[in-house]
Amino acid sequence: MKLYIKYMVSNRCKALVQEELISLGLQSEYVVVDLGMVELHKDITDIQLEQLKENLSKAGLELLDGSKGKLIDKIKSLITDMIHSSEEQPKVNYSVYISEKLGYNYTYLANIFSEVKGITIQQFIIIHKIEKAKELLFYDELSLTEIAHRLHYSSVAHLSSQFKKVTGLSPTFYKHIKNKREGVLENL
């Protein structure tokens, strides 16, 4: 069972949620407590759910109903599939693509997503695009220009700029480190 919690955007919030789960006797029931989400081994009772909702509300957090939680899962899944599984990126803006695929207004989706995850949909997309770029750099089959084109960056400079913001490294330096590490491993 997954629970989604609005405004849970810091480690302090995570700790508070963990304390609430423990106070309700659910310390052995939760698998993951992450920003905006709790995953439980099994369903909890309606009484426990209501008590959790009430306790979180006192702390300024809001337990979302199941439909909004499922919507966030759909957004994350759609973005992950769009970037990691599909060879062809959408020809329209990501906001239009996501809105059309899920049948909701993009502003509505973006607001729910950022309230729960603590980052915007755009930031989530950038993180996944950079992960895909790292994967493509690792396998060394495409040039940086080809990677930028495949991930729909306007230029190599734009990709490099975002890559450095997310990883702290330039794509070229990342590739250099990977090659150096492989050389060391071959000499063992």
What tens digit of pLDDT does each residue of 170-188 get? 998 888 887 776 665 565 5
In angstroms, the CA 159 to CA 126 distance is 10
What tens digit of pLDDT does each residue of 90-109 get? 667 889 999 999 999 999 99
Q: Which residues pair with 38 in a beta bridge?
A: 3, 33
- Given a cut of 50, the residues of the chain with pLDDT beneath it are none
Q: Is 31 helix (H, G, I), strand (E, B) or coil?
A: strand
In angstroms, the CA 131 to CA 159 distance is 12
Instruction: Kindly provide the b/e burial profile for residues 66-82, where b requires at least 16 CB atoms within 10 angstroms of the residue's own CB.
Output: eebbebbeebbeebeeb
Reported pTM: 0.70
In angstroms, the CA 17 to CA 20 distance is 5
Q: What is the DSSP string of 81-117?
A: IIIII-SS--SS-HHHHHHHHHTS-HHHHHHHHHHHH
All domains of the chain, ordered by start, with CATH?
Answer: 2-64 (3.30.70), 69-181 (1.10.10.60)
In angstroms, the CA 46 to CA 52 distance is 10
